[in-house]
A and B are shown apart, each in its own frame.
Chain A
Amino acid sequence: MKLREARNGIYRSQATAAATMLLPMLALLVLLRLLPLANAMWSSLRDPRLGATGYVGIDNYLRVLSDPVFLKTLNVTAMFTAIINPLQIGLALALAVLLSQRIPAVGLWRTLVFLPAVVPQAVSAIIWGIALRSDGIFNALLHQAGFSKQGFLTSPTQALWCIILILTWIGVGYWMVILIAGINDIPPELNEAAKVDGAGALRRFWHITLPQLRRPLLFVLVADTVANFLIFAPVQILTKGGPAHSSSIIMFDIFERSYITGDVPGASAATVLLVALVLSVVAIQFRLLPGGDD
């Protein structure tokens, strides 16, 4: 009996200690994350006219969802997400596999691939913006090679691809580092045993590396997807969503509604819709790719 009481006492003190240590983080979560979400939800139900604040129900959601510009933005965002996530993750995985091999100066290559991730996105965007100008280095190279000049950021068919290219250049090294850590965690005896059994590099990748990487891959998939839904700076700096809304992804649309035209209720409605969209996508990803606990 005394032993049980003593155990309960230990559990209670541990729980108190845990709660005390968690408290600052929980307070910050409420203050910095939950309150803004609640604020966005409240604001999305208010009157959008200048100086008015009355309750208007779901009018702002209906208004935003019937706005052709917002629908175009959703379309562009869907295409952007469908292209950039597989592209970044595929490239990061390929680089991780390549740069976890015993090749000369591997540290240098890893550093070079990772380097763009430590440059602020805005700086990268400005540098790429100059390179992609009509009189920039890419058009000069194309001209030298006998090709015609390309519009790049000024072309409605190329602008989104340019943004994808820039973001991939920035992001791929970051995700690669996480996947390299995952590859290094794979017990070497698994690969050695497979080698003894005569498995080639491709079979070992398919049957050992990939299954063993499920957890880091799931993290990369979810974190990369969320990060790409929240992309803003390069679009604001390079294209302002244009030409003809061809690179207008959802965070830029929300920013413009909120901070340029002052339509805070419309921007809040779009934010709540974005949260719902991201949650749905991430839920599907969790269902399709279990983390490997079971």
Chain B
Amino acid sequence: MKPRSLKFVGALAATALLVTACGSSPEKGDGDSKIVITFLHTSNPDPQPWDAAVASFEKAHPNVTIKHQEVTFDDLNTQVVSRIGSGDTSIDVYAADEPRIPALAAKGLLADVSEYTAKTIEATGEGAVGAVSYDGKQYGFPQWSSTNLLFYNTDLLKKAGIALPSADPNKRLTYEELLPMAQKAQKAGAKYGFAFEQIDRYYQLQPVFESAGAGSGLAGDDMLTPTVATPNWVSAAKWYGDLFESGVSPRGIPVDQMGDQFGQGNIAFFVAGAWQLSTFEKGGVNFGVAPFPYFKDGKAVTPTDSWGIGVSPHSKHLDMAKEFAAYLTIDPVGSTEVYPIATPPQKLALEKLNAEFIAAGGWKKDLADITTFEISNTAVSRPRSIGYVDFETIMNKAFSDIRNGQDPQKVLAAADAELQTAFARLK
């Protein structure tokens, strides 16, 4: 081979190597005799929910240290799939979004914790265990349940001469009542009239489609048949897109920055979860709370379920990892020490939280009352399917496209086709 040809081939090989240089390099676990349990979860606003429970667990187990690893919501799934999927032993315990548990379990990314089922039912109830189970086995511990509420900026509403909405679930606002109020607030000076916190996440938008009679978007025994291009889905999606087209809701603000928008007093009415309370308080906004709105001709529906705590099947300290996860979630002491950033499904922790909020009065009492009502009466879980991860990924992008002004009919037809392609791989 001539030198130039050699150089040519060498350069091509170097290029190929450059392109493929994105492999994984598994990390090693601790080599000390002391046990370190690594807990991977999303970042949370202060106060950290697990600090007190972790401290008491460590006190009871002097040879155990809990190490936190915090990532963003979007990165959590990536970390779990890439690290645990490659057999990495450096994660022992992790926060798992409950509707993802079937897919995570099917991929072998969660350890079976069925030996704790009786205790979990006793602490939380059968519904909560169902949310962390797949194929008849328990694959996680229920940490939070959740609901969403309609927060309103009392100053902006008073300025616009709008009566404050009732906290009574029986006097829940319809969207048909809410939007004129939002527009009135906007005319009186609010930057935006009404917005969802999770502008392109299925979790919070599912109730809009369910209330409009469009269903969850998945059908069939295995929930692997998409139904997101039906006329009801299209009309509800058009309603959603119009919120942004008309300027009632802000276009182009990333989902992670929406809570700050309400906290800074820019939005009159805001659908959000209780985990935003610290952001609102930090922003200094005066607010009240009302139940999640619904369509006049539809039913009231609210989102539910939340994070579970799962254990990595590759943990070097599997038993201790399970014990720690159980302590945070179903232990009578540990679960009540966890600071509630969402609604606890643990009976004891819920009682403690409700007592505290009801005694505080004002919006805290309203929040506790509404949450108790919604979880028992209007909560609808996300579809449980091994295709949920693909479904959520594709639908979240569709919601993003719709709010950015794309034609809802075309977007949903494309999403339906994408879902069929994605599910074909799973069947």
Contacts and interface: CB of A to CB of B under 8 A. Distances in A.
Given A156-B406, A242-B400, A278-B15, A266 B425 contact: yes
Interface stretch (A93-101, A106-114, A202-210, A255-263): A255-263
Contacts of A294: 4
B20 A271 contact: yes
A274 interface: yes
Nearest to A254: B22
Interface string A60-74: 000100011100000
Interface in A229-274: 229-230, 240-244, 256, 258-264, 266, 271, 274
6 contacts: A33-B20, A48-B425, A50-B426, A154-B405, A260-B77, A282-B12
Interface residues of B, number: 50
B297 to A, nearest CB: 31
Interface in B1-27: 3-4, 7-8, 11-12, 15-25
Nearest to A156: B406
Q: Which A-B residue pairs are the 4 nearest by beta carbons?
A: A36-B23, A134-B252, A33-B17, A37-B20
Contacts of B8: 283, 286
Contacts of A266: 425
A282 B250 CA distance: 44
Nearest to B418: A69
Interface of A: 29, 32-37, 39-40, 48-51, 63, 67-69, 129, 132-136, 151-156, 222, 226, 229-230, 240-244, 256, 258-264, 266, 271, 274-275, 278-279, 282-283, 286, 291, 293-294
Nearest to A218: B11
Contacts of B418: 68-69
B254 to A, nearest CB: 7
A242 B406 CA distance: 11
Contacts of A37: 16-17, 20
Contact of A151 (B11, B17, B404): B404
A68 B20 contact: no
Contacts, number: 142
Given A49-B425, A153-B252, A244-B406, A279 B15 contact: yes
Query: Interface on chain B toward A: helix, strand, loop, or mixed SS?
Result: helix
Interface stretch (B101-109, B201-209, B287-295): B101-109
A282 B389 contact: no
A283 B252 contact: no
Contacts of B17: 29, 33-34, 37
Interface centre among A67, A68, A258, A261 (most CB of B within 10 A): A261
Interface centre among A51, A282, A294 (most CB of B within 10 A): A282
A133 B417 CA distance: 30
B268 interface: no
B16 A244 contact: no
A243 B404 contact: yes
A262 B103 contact: yes
B103 to A, nearest CB: 7
Given A155-B404, A240-B400, A242-B397, A262 B20 contact: no
A146 B417 CA distance: 42
B182 interface: no
Contacts of B25: 32
Interface string B65-106: 000000000000110011001000000000000000001001
A242 B389 contact: no
Interface centre among A37, A40, A51, A243 (most CB of B within 10 A): A243
Contact of B106 (A50, A243, A274, A275): A50
A286 B11 contact: yes
Given A282-B15, A283-B12, A260 B401 contact: no
B411 interface: yes
Interface string B239-269: 0000000000011111000000000000000
Contacts of B12: 279, 282-283, 286
A116 B310 CA distance: 41
A263 B393 CA distance: 13
